[in-house]
Amino acid sequence: MDFEKMYRQLDEFMKNKGNMSEEEALKKFMELYNSHDLDIEDTNEVMSIEKLDEAMEAKDEKDAKRLAKEALNLDPNNADAKLFLLGFEDDLKKLDGLDKIIKETEDYLTKEGFFDEDNIGEFYVLYETRPYMRILYTKAITLLENGMVKRAQEVLERILELNENDNLGARYLLSGVYAYFEDKDSLNKLIKKYEGDFGLSFDLAKLVLVYKEGDEKKALEYLKVLNKKNPNFIGIMTDKIGHDEIINKVNLSYYSPGDLSEAVNMIADFSFVLLPMTMFYVWIRKNAKKLK
């Protein structure tokens, strides 16, 4: 939450910049911020962010909930605090809760003018709308985890409409959705839109789609491409890489191209696509020998 906190403080600083130009004021702000000499009285919004940070670091659930509720008392529009509290609920309550938070946040952002045409496509750049994007992404994942793929597609497409740079990586989940529905045209348009993206997910989406269409020759070509970029994918799919190795070596919050964590993250993202495809696993085992 440091980004949002810093930009809220910057807003307050710029309101009182006096005769300084914007460039001079920004330079002065960064000097004071980096030296921890910034003398700005914290707003309720900033204090709410700080309180939520405490909640996230709390050792037990009771303290975490208490601190998150205190954050909401300071700023009733703190969508991240609402989302944090919702994380303690089961999925039956989570979906309804997400819809409630989304509606409340949309009403607030609409009132404040953030759904202006100039902002559409930049919603992750604006600190005020960034929490809203996180909520939408959480809803998409929750829908996918519960087999509601079509509803997830609508949310993921909305995320890309609001944030064209896709800082959250919604395009990767969406590529899996298009593969799930065998929607080749939409998948190709998505890949073209993010041309130059070298992530594995687009390759896996193409592999899954052509395999489901019955084009095993083309599927083998994509499997070779995928294996060249990250051999760990086939290692996992053929059980050459076991559960213990994954547990000991994988970092789900960070990965580099070609490493085990990248492959595990991709497979996890595509679990809603891959789990029903029993014969796909058999096909990979059979064709893995041809890649040596």
Contact 101, 82 (CB under 8 A): yes
pLDDT tens column, 83-106:
999 999 887 889 999 999 999 999
Q: Among 74, 68, 2, which Cα is nearest to 45's?
A: 74
For residue 250 the two structure tokens come to: 């994988």
Q: Average pLDDT for residues 13-40, to the nearest whole number?
A: 64
Give me the chain's average pLDDT, please: 89
φ and ψ at residue 121, rounded to 5 degrees: 100, -10
Instruction: Return the pLDDT at 257.
Output: 85
Instruction: Return the pLDDT at 37.
Output: 59
- Ranges of each domain in the chain: 89-168, 198-292
Instruction: Return the pLDDT at 90.
Output: 84
Q: How many CA atoms lie within 13 A of 251 on its CB side?
A: 6
Give the number of other Cβ atoms within 10 Å of residue 223's Cβ: 25
Angle at 287 (CA atoms; ends 284, 292), nearest 5 degrees: 120
For residue 166 the two structure tokens come to: 């896709």
pTM for this one?
0.85
Give the number of other Cβ atoms within 10 Å of residue 76's Cβ: 13
Looking at the predicted structure, is the pLDDT value of residue 31 above 80? no
Instruction: Return the pLDDT at 211.
Output: 97
Instruction: Return the pLDDT at 46.
Output: 84
Instruction: Return the pLDDT at 43.
Output: 80
Instruction: Return the pLDDT at 203.
Output: 96
Contact 246, 261 (CB under 8 A): no
Written as one string, the DSSP assignment of 196-230 is: T---HHHHHHHHHHHHHHT-HHHHHHHHHHHHHH-
**Helix (H), strand (E) counts: the chain:** 17, 0
Interaxial angle between packed helices 44-57 and 61-74, expressed in degrees from 0 to 180 and rounded to the nearest 10 = 170
Q: Report long-range pairs for 187-194 (Cβ below 8 Å, ≥24 apart).
A: 194/166
